[in-house]
A and B are shown apart, each in its own frame.
Chain A
Amino acid sequence: MIPLNTVQNTVHACHRGLEHAQAVAHIRQAMNDALRGKPEVVEIALVCLLARGHLLIEDLPGLGKTTLAKALATAVGGRFCRVQCTPDLLPGDVTGFSIFNQKTREFEFLPGPVFADVLLVDEINRATPRTQSALLEAMAEHQVTVDNQPHRLSSTFFVIATQNPAEHHGTYPLPEAQLDRFAMKLRIGYPKRQDELAILEAAVGPCCEDDSPRPQPVVQPSDLHHLQQHVAAIAVGPAVREYLVDLAAVVRSHPRVPLGLSPRGLLTLQRAAQAQAFLHNRTFVIPDDVQGVMGPVLSARLNMPADASAEVLDEVLAAVRVPAWEQQ
């Protein structure tokens, strides 16, 4: 005889699982509609979102970086803010600042764009290191301190930063400490021929953005929070944990890698693997998940060109034995 509460829990769990799957499917659909022909990029962005990490998109102008960020922000239904970085951008422009209210005769805090749910930091490498470092606390601890007063950010605070690798003039490359705050770095790349044809076809007709149907939010920020909680509970077996540590050790000892995977990076890798497992409708992580997210996670920390990063990734993956029959 099965206890009634067990049955109820199981039914609720199934129900929740179904809801989560539907929510993810909706987000995915919305993003795929906005960014045509790039499902793998959408998947990585989703993994990053669910793993509570921040995403750095490095690619040429006009490839849809902003489109992706806006679509993601719209889909999760939160507040979306955008910061266009220039050399004269000040930290207060990002975090917010206090002004003196003449009526109340008190200082009031005016929150900056970091108090959004999704923050798009465009061309982040154009900001000065001072402004870049203002983002450090926000990204790492989900809070900012202005005038010695800490201010909590949204629980689903998610940064999508873009940078242009082609231009080096007047840019400030992100320091390693800043890079380590990002969970993943990815490139979007040019769309395929058929997708470009479809993009052109869709652009005929509407003359401005208001003419096209505006995308609607598919989930609420609270739902996203639940999703992230669910992902964090995905099981990671001892064999996979050992595999993760082995990978980190090999990365650290790789001759071409100046700074290896930090423990924070390893945690990020595990969260990303959990998210990947969740997106594949699994309740546990397998080595395939780890290998699937290893590339974006590693490239955010290697600070080297994309080709070299891919080579290092291949060498690292080939050097570590996948746990298979040792437990049997």
Chain B
Amino acid sequence: MNPMTAVILMVGVGALQLSRAARAASVSGYMMVGTVIVVALCIARLLLGRTSLLDRWTDSKWPQVFAVISAAAMLASQSLSLGAPLEGSVSTSLLVLAGGLYVFDGRVGRHDGVVAAICIAVALLLLPTFDFAVRGGVVAVLVIVSAGWLAAGQIEPSGSRRWSTFFVVCAICLALLVPLVAAHRFIRPVDLNPSYAGWVPASGGPASESERAARGVGDGQDEISSDHAASTGLDQNERIAESSLDSLYDLWTEAYGEPVTPAEQQKTIALKQDGLNQAQGTDRGDSRTGRSFDIKRRAPAERAASGEKQGTALLELRGPLPAWIALEALERFDGDAWQPRYAGRSFVPVRHLGERWMELLLRPISPAFGRDGEYSVRVGELNGRTLPLPPHTTQFRMGLIDQPTFFSSDEAGVVRLARRTLPTGASIDVTAKLVDASRLLNVEPALPAHSKPLLLEVAHIEPELAAWANRMTFGTPRGWPQVLALMRSLQESAHYDPSWCSPRPAFETLQRDGRGNDYHFATAGVLGLRSLGYPARLASGVFASADRVNEQSGWAQLNRDDLHCWVQIRMSDGTWIDLDPTPGFPLLAVPMNWRQQFHNWAQQAATRAKRQWVAIISAFCFLGVVWFGRRQWLDGVATRILHIRGPTPARVARLIERRASLVGRKRAAATPVGKWLHTLGSSRSILELIDAMNQQLYCPQAPVIRFDATSVLKELSLRNLRKQLDVR
């Protein structure tokens, strides 16, 4: 028994649990203490390693103690970054490794197997990757194994455990447990008796497995109705209709006979006027007494289609594509939805240049702009006042309008007709600036001095979304790399399903359902950018994709399917850049040279290292300790396996050969083992071992010669062999 093993492991694990529960500042205290101990011990060991004490250290238990402490410190530090399951898995497996190696130190103890099983079980319980039930199953098996080990040790207290006993105990326990686990895991009360459905509020299993399970949500036919919003189970009436008992209809038939089925042309005559009014209370128009009408009710027939109708486009466009044509820009988010308009002062946004060309007064000027783009727009059935202008429009000409006062705008920058809706068939010629992606690095997404604080409003952003955005952009430098990293993460976070509807908030929908429409993606993108401190807003309008272009006419026809939502981010020079976080839509690609990429990578690595320095130092300490003690551990594992399999002379001799090769005294293949063992020593126990080994290897039918394995292994321990080598 290694009581120290258990104590140290339990302290480490307890620290983790405490810190998880409390999530308080005391975690860092644990972490600091553990790390300082590990670092100090490792430095001391490195310093002492220059003296002859190195051997004593590596032969002692200290390396293993260090390993365990270091692993515990890693766990403690891991508790700080709870959201990273990978690190949790790594540190947990390190704990398992440390515990296992510590136990496998080559000495036989009755309870070592139990300690190892407990270590692994506790580590698995903490492992965040697996499902709770899977972890529970593994833990149960481990407990059984340790119980079997204990039982075998109790039955054979001499130390020579009988594997048969061990396996029998394990088999019995497993035979008892597996049906229980299976019943718990796979069979629900509803499966056992269908009539439970609806009365047992546990159709989805226990609440420990899933929050939704207790409400019976997502159970398909077994789902029951509840007060949960997502519950769509049958209500009371439906339950009766679905039941296998006699229905209400049958009871009626039994009492009053078969209901009368009216013939096809059977007619009846209306009652007198008074009776009708009394029965229905209202006059239905044709209330002539004695009028006849069909007794058979008919559903209202659909109107016959009057020939195929041609779908009308919202608008038609010609020019450089793709283009995001914003019809609405939404900046205010109240935690539930985007508000369509804020009360702002409207103004005349253009001036007349001549020949009906209108120039925007607030025309964008940015170093990110490249050449000009010429667009032609034909208005279809937009039925709104907003002009469908491509982004970064500088001037436009609409029909015969030559008065700037026909147009109005507000702070959102969207140009509208002042008094009427856009007439169908109107034609607009537009000149707009095109964004050159290679110049985007010249501008930074940032809030200009005069910008509205509304764009950075974070009051209604879910904490989960902010944490997620932080995690996804962890370590990336601020600016375009961070913005694009978030957009890419959003594109990869869920599937795009244009028809997906959900009552949940946008980000929660994406996370829990794994799918969402463009509104969900755009909302999550804007709020994520705002949580990171970038001014952003939601734009809705029409997305003009290049594949909408009619090759013959050269015009892109955009209809209702092309209505879209996306993100606009504000540059420091006041321009808005369109970003589309919806999967499948083109995302702005900002090209970076190798120097900028290296800078990004270095900064990312530095940030990560800075935040997780404890884990990194602990990992290095752990690896160092593993490296320095690798011979002991290898030897310990081999020795333990030897004791488990039974120390026959040949196995003992082979273990000694392994030890010798670990210290660089490998036996040549052409040297007989006995002769080689003679060179290691000539004590009585070694000679006995040589005789017994020779007999076992070369005359296996002869009875085994007794020998003292313990004293031989002690005399030819790793340490003694190394000493012999040093003496030579």
Contacts and interface: CB of A to CB of B under 8 A. Distances in A.
Nearest to A239: B698
Contacts of A235: 699, 701-702
A237 interface: yes
Contacts of B695: 284
B670 A319 contact: yes
B670 A239 contact: no
Nearest to A325: B654
Interface string A292-328: 0000000000000000000000000111111111011
A24 B622 CA distance: 63
B699 to A, nearest CB: 3
B694 interface: yes
A328 B672 contact: no
A129 interface: no
B725 to A, nearest CB: 22
Contacts, number: 57
Contact of A317 (B654, B670, B701): B670
A286 B670 contact: no
Interface string A270-291: 0000000000001111111001
A251 interface: no
A308 to B, nearest CB: 20
A324 B673 contact: yes
B672 A291 contact: yes
B698 A240 contact: yes
B682 to A, nearest CB: 15
Contacts of B700: 237, 327
A239 B674 contact: no
Contact of A288 (B650, B675, B699): B675
Given A284-B695, A286-B694, A328-B650, A322 B702 contact: no
Contacts of B701: 235
A186 to B, nearest CB: 21
B134 to A, nearest CB: 38
B672 A287 contact: yes
B669 A322 contact: yes
Contact of B698 (A286, A325, A328): A286
A328 B654 contact: yes
B697 A324 contact: yes
A47 B341 CA distance: 113
B266 interface: no
B709 to A, nearest CB: 15
Contact of A322 (B650, B673, B699): B673
Contacts of A323: 697-698
B306 interface: no
A317 B668 CA distance: 11
B52 interface: no
Nearest to B691: A282
A327 B697 CA distance: 7
A328 B670 contact: no
Nearest to B695: A284
A285 B673 contact: no
B671 interface: yes
Contacts of A240: 698
Contacts of B650: 325, 328
Nearest to A234: B699
A323 B672 CA distance: 8
A322 B672 contact: yes
> Which has the most chain A C-beta neighbours within 10 Å: B654, B674, B699?
B699
B688 to A, nearest CB: 14
Interface string A96-113: 000000000000000000
Contact of A237 (B669, B673, B675, B698): B698
Contacts of A291: 672, 675
Given A283-B702, A328-B650, A328-B651, A320 B697 contact: no
B652 to A, nearest CB: 11
Interface string B106-117: 000000000000
A284 B702 contact: yes
A249 to B, nearest CB: 14
A327 B702 CA distance: 15
A322 B670 contact: yes
A327 B696 CA distance: 10
> Which has the most chain A C-beta neighbours within 10 Å: B654, B670, B675, B702?
B670
Interface string B234-255: 0000000000000000000000
A8 to B, nearest CB: 19
B699 A237 contact: yes
Interface in B634-656: 650-651, 654
Contacts of B670: 317-322
Nearest to A326: B697
Interface in B664-715: 668-675, 694-695, 697-702
Contacts of A239: 697-698
A22 B701 CA distance: 27
Contacts of B651: 328
Nearest to A285: B698
Contacts of A286: 672, 674, 694, 697-698
Nearest to B669: A321
A322 B671 contact: yes
Contact of A284 (B671, B675, B698): B698
B672 A288 contact: yes
A290 to B, nearest CB: 9
A168 B411 CA distance: 124
B717 to A, nearest CB: 21
Interface of A: 235, 237, 239-240, 282-288, 291, 317-325, 327-328
The 9 A-B pairs with the shortest beta carbon distances in the complex, nearest first, are: A284-B699, A237-B698, A287-B672, A321-B669, A288-B672, A286-B694, A318-B670, A286-B698, A322-B672
14 contacts: A237-B698, A284-B694, A284-B699, A286-B672, A286-B694, A286-B697, A286-B698, A287-B672, A288-B672, A288-B674, A319-B670, A323-B697, A328-B651, A328-B654
Given A286-B674, A319-B670, A322-B670, 12 more contacts: A235-B701, A235-B702, A239-B698, A283-B699, A284-B694, A284-B702, A286-B697, A317-B670, A322-B669, A322-B671, A322-B673, A327-B697
